[in-house]
Amino acid sequence: MPLAWASAWTSRESGASLVASQNKPYIRYYCELVATLSHSQLYLSGRPAFTGISSPLEKSRFVFFGVPFDRTSTYKPGSRFAPSALRDVSANLELYSIRSNLDLEKIPIHDAGDIDTVEDLKETLRRTTAVWKELAAASKIPIMAGGEHTVTKAAIDALPTDIGLVNLDAHLDLRDEFLGERISHATFMRRVAERIDPSHVMEVGIRAFSKPELDYCQDSGLQVITPQDIRKNPLDKTAQRIRTFLSAFTHTYLTVDIDVLDPAYAPGVGNPEPDGITTDELLTLVQAAMNRNTVGFDLVEVSPQLDSGQTAAVGAKVIFEAIAALSSRSPTK
């Protein structure tokens, strides 16, 4: 990027002042150029397109982008490779949704590339929030691919607080702090709940948590649905609970941590947790979470190096079906 070139020219230990002097006009030009760029131009780098074809931004309702970041992962890192893996597999899946009876080839989807992440967590989240705000201001529906689940906080920070959030996940991620950090993959949902209100959050598929996290849910009104809750009733009852919950909000958001699935269906995750839900259950609940007030969604925590591609395939399918379900909704649904 131009800013990186300018920084490199002026930071070399050997001959730094000479380089800066000789290239001052160029440095000034590039700094002025950077000042004119949008956040999307500044923080996103192009990649091969999701689905294999990227429609023009101005013609697309949906904008896909990746956040290849997993610095706070504590067990099996590797979700930073997920955006590329999801793109690769998406280009080799059929695009017709039998669930929504809709052909995704006819739905314009723009691939904006990946966030240029840095080692610093707060800066990476800041960049992601800035891109979200720009896309939302342009009336786009962002589709974000992590990366670790912490990146969901960046999306919610870009959105109004009158939002209903559904998290499909194995873990509550509601610790107040973890390993001395207040923002990480194990704490981000606590920060999100504090911002938008715990009663605005429903967590589904949950089966791994600490006692203090469970106490927080019971004390705050944050709703939790376990796999056991899902199995003891017809699946549509859980789907209806999600629809009813989200109907109370003027803005809605869905985040999917792929480890909500049982490891038999998704072994390529950083924190596998047995006794999860099935692929059919996941896709049905994803459909239920899509409505006319949906302002975006994300898919996180695929670690493609841990399996032979099956988890990335499921992840891409989740995104396909979310887009199809949302596209099939009329303004009155």
Task: Rounding to the nearest 10 degrees, give the CA dihedral for residues 239, 244, 249, 251.
Answer: 20
Tell me, yes or no, whether 52 and 32 share the same domain. no
Task: Evaluate whether residue 256 is within a structural domain.
Answer: yes
**What range defines the domain where residue 86 resides?**
45-328
On whether the CB atoms of residues 273 and 315 are closer than 8 A, the answer is no
| Percent of the residues in the chain that have a pLDDT greater than 90, as a whole number | 80
Residues of the chain falling short of pLDDT 70: 1-36, 46-47, 330-333
Task: Evaluate whether residue 166 is within a structural domain.
Answer: yes
Task: Evaluate whether residue 158 is within a structural domain.
Answer: yes
Tell me, yes or no, whether 148 and 229 share the same domain. yes
What is the Cα–Cα distance from 260 to 272, expressed in whole angstroms? Answer: 9
Tell me, yes or no, whether 15 and 144 share the same domain. no
On whether the CB atoms of residues 326 and 294 are closer than 8 A, the answer is yes
Tell me, yes or no, whether 182 and 89 share the same domain. yes
Tell me, yes or no, whether 61 and 187 share the same domain. yes
Burial class (CB in 10 A: 0-12, 13-18, 19+), 13: exposed
Task: Evaluate whether residue 1 is within a structural domain.
Answer: yes
On whether the CB atoms of residues 283 and 289 are closer than 8 A, the answer is no
Burial class (CB in 10 A: 0-12, 13-18, 19+), 211: exposed
Task: Rounding to the nearest 10 degrees, give the CA dihedral for residues 49, 51, 53, 55.
Answer: -90
What is the Cα–Cα distance from 269 to 34, expressed in whole angstroms? Answer: 37
Tell me, yes or no, whether 98 and 203 share the same domain. yes
Domain count of the fold of the chain = 2
Q: Which residues pair with 102 in a beta bridge?
A: 97
Tell me, yes or no, whether 281 and 186 share the same domain. yes
Q: Which residue has the tokens 């996180």?
A: 300
pTM: 0.86
Residue (of 269, 282, 271, 277) closest to 319 by Cα position: 282
Tell me, yes or no, whether 3 and 126 share the same domain. no
Task: Evaluate whether residue 333 is within a structural domain.
Answer: no
Tell me, yes or no, whether 218 and 147 share the same domain. yes
What's the pLDDT score for residue 72? 92
